[in-house]
Structure 1
Amino acid sequence: MTTLALLGTGLLGAAIGHRLLEVGISLKVWNRDPDRCRSLVGSGAQQCSSPADTLLGVDTVITVLRDGPVTADVVQSLGLLQGRTVIPMGTMGISESVSLAQQVSAQGGRYLEAPVLGSRPQAQMGTLLVMAGGDPELFELQRPLLKHLGSDPLRMGDVGTGAAAKLALNQLIASLTHGYSLALRLVQASGLEVERFMEVLRPSALYAPTVDKKLERMLTEHYGDPNFSTSLLRKDLNLFLREADLAGVDASGLEGLARLLQRAEGTELDAGDYSALHALTTISSDTSE
């Protein structure tokens, strides 16, 4: 039985771990908060007390951590990698991924970035969209593993291209959610029934399935039990803005959205589903509850 190391067992990491266990892969798991490994241990994973302890008997290390700096610190704590492959699946900046690839090489390992689009349901079903960046030979070696998580993993190009694709997509999530929230607010203020508006939107070229997925949350203001939180959306949008600046892209039009999301910090909206952005698009909104 193949054994992998999984570092980071938050919402997405735990779902990825359960999927890998279901397809017969043995896991060694670590998380900064040990309690977050509990469900995976109950399903057969072996919990380790430190990242370095996960390396014995494994050739591949998957990380699903909050951001680039955290990932770099945890990977550094692994010590010498002795030819093992490190596959980060969390969102990080292009420059951060390139730097991490250099770090992994210096530690004697191989590197294949593989950020994913999707959340817990897609991870559990093996339908994530996998966007890899790195050596084509290494990608082919790891393709059977990646196919357990997404049926058609794609190599985007060299290291950094996978990170670029993921950041671009997460920016679209933020922009689409914001645009839809503004449209919904104006529709409601005019007295137009939301469902009548949706009857026009759904058959149009402007429609995206996520609109209906988030509609009920926005109308009922139920943002609990998130698959992807407001705080993570804000983090990724700010990361996109930083990388856009490094790439010479004028993304100043997104700065207002970044400031809007900043208003959620320190409130319960921050830990809620990212559709809580809708609670911010009204002048009378109160985010202190």
Structure 2
Amino acid sequence: MSTSRNVAFFGTGLMGFPMARRLLEAGFPVTAWNRTQEKAAPLAALGAQVATTPGQALERADIAILMLAHAEAIGKTLLTAETAPFLSGKTVVQMGTIGPEESKTLAAEIASHGGRYLEAPVLGSVPQAEAGKLEVMAGGEKALFEELLPVFRCFGPNPRWVGPVGAAATLKLALNHLIAAQAAAFATSLALVQKAHVPLELFLEILRPSAFYAPTFERKLPVMLDPLHAKVNFPAKHMLKDVRLIRATAEALGINPTLVASLEALFAATEEAGLADADYAAVARVIAGQ
């Protein structure tokens, strides 16, 4: 694929901005759109065009990449009467986190307007997006995935084709479930030792060389200790959205949702505590009863 193909990038938030920047650095012409335009404006200094409407961005593009918060936002952006006519002949790549059934519905909608569709959610956070080290997982036609490899390699070195539409979306939810569960489990353990006045460093000295240690514990420890002043890599409100998708998908597959329901309750309480825009590790405050 030539880098002369024009890319419309929808959603230039925490993850989308560095991803769009990497496309520009690789030589792809990029038109950026974001609901709050000031988040897309800095890309202009890097060579991007900044569209004022979704239709304007899509009209210029061969490929549309979506890094939007949820399926509802996608519908309000692409599937309106003003924008949908521009989908004909376009390739739409959905890279945010949505449910597998939502992805299948979106694929059908795109096809009905004459476009092609691939889901390609990513695993990783802001540092990985900035460094081009995201895990890209694609679902859809394998030939389309292979056609888009030059784009995906801007985001991560080893893009993977998972299977049909819905497969990659499910895989992403399975992985995000582990992220949410690990955060809640680690926060609970921290609260136990801190409230019992067990030295935190002793707990960590025993944990670090153990078989059940996870690198994410080290990264999230300072956030859990001071979530109100920590850099946000993934907001708690987005984790709550993902956990709700995980629960719905688990229930649809006949999986006992008890654990996921507990995670949903914890992240809902985090949002209710005014921490929706804090990093998801702020769930530690709720767990500790702060």
Q: CA deviation at 1:261?
A: 1.6
Residues 266 and 187 (structure 1 numbering): CA distance in 2 closer, same or farther, change over 3 Å? closer
How far has the Cα of 1:40 moved from its partner? 1.1
Aligned to 1:220: 226
Alignment of 1:144-223 (within 5 A): 144-223=150-229
1:109 equivalent in alignment to 2:115: yes
- CA distance in 2 between counterparts of 1:69 and 1:58 reads 22
Does the CA-based 8 Å contact 1:223-1:275 persist in structure 2? no
> How far does residue 222 in structure 1 lie from its aligned partner after superposition?
4.1
Q: Deviation of residue 56 (structure 1)?
A: 3.4
What is the SS of the residue equivalent to 2:40?
helix
What pairs with 1:231-270 in structure 2 (closer than 5 Å)?
231-270=237-276
Map 1:5-44; keep pairs closer than 5 Å: 5-44=8-47
Match in the other structure for 1:54: 57
Verify the 8 A CA contact 2:5 2:62 in the aligned structure 1: no
Q: What is the one-letter code of the residue matched to 1:207? A: Y
Assess if the C-alpha contact under 8 Å between 2:223 and 2:230 holds in 1: no
* Deviation of 1:141 (Å): 0.3
Q: Which runs of 5+ in 2 are unaligned?
A: none
Q: State the partner residue of 1:131.
A: 137
Partners of 1:194 and 1:226 in 2: how far apart? 24
* 1:125 Cα offset (Å): 0.9
Amino acid at match of 1:210: T
CA contact (8 A) 1:223 1:273 kept: no
Partner SS state of residue 237, structure 1: helix
Query: Could you tell me whether the CA contact under 8 Å between 1:117 and 1:130 is conserved in 2?
Result: yes
1:269 and 1:276 map into 2 onto residues whose CA distance is 7
- 1:267 Cα deviation (Å)? 4.0
The letter for the 1-side match of 2:84 is: G
Preserved contact between residue 91 and residue 115 of structure 1 (Cα < 8 Å):
yes
User: Which residue of structure 1 aligns with residue 149 of structure 2?
Assistant: 143
1:223·1:276 contact (CA, 8 Å) conserved in 2?
no
Note if 1:122 corresponds to 2:128: yes
Aligned ranges for residues 48-87 of structure 1 at < 5 Å? 48-77=51-80, 78-80=83-85, 81-87=87-93
Please, what TM-score do these two structures have when normalized by structure 2?
Answer: 0.94
Deviation at 1:156, TM superposition (A): 0.7
Q: Do 2:9 and 2:20's aligned partners in 1 also have CA atoms closer than 8 Å?
A: yes
Shift of 1:256: 2.1
Task: Give the number of equivalent residue pairs.
Answer: 284
Letter in 1 for 2:166: G
State the Cα deviation string for residues 30-76 of structure 1 (Å, max 9, x = none). Answer: 11111111211221110112111113342110011010121133221
1:23–1:141 Cα change, 3 Å: same
Q: Is the 8 A contact 1:130 1:153 kept in 2?
A: yes
Separation of aligned partners in 2, 1:266 and 1:42: 38
- Kindly report the root-mean-square deviation, in angstroms, between the aligned alpha carbons of the 2 structures: 1.4
TM-score by length of 1: 0.94
Runs of 4+ in 1 over 3 A off after TM superposition: 220-224
SS at match of 2:138: strand
Identity %: 38
2:20 aligned counterpart, secondary structure? helix
1:144 positional shift: 1.3
Equivalents in 2 of 1:221, 1:133: separation in Å? 35
Gap runs ≥5 in structure 1: none
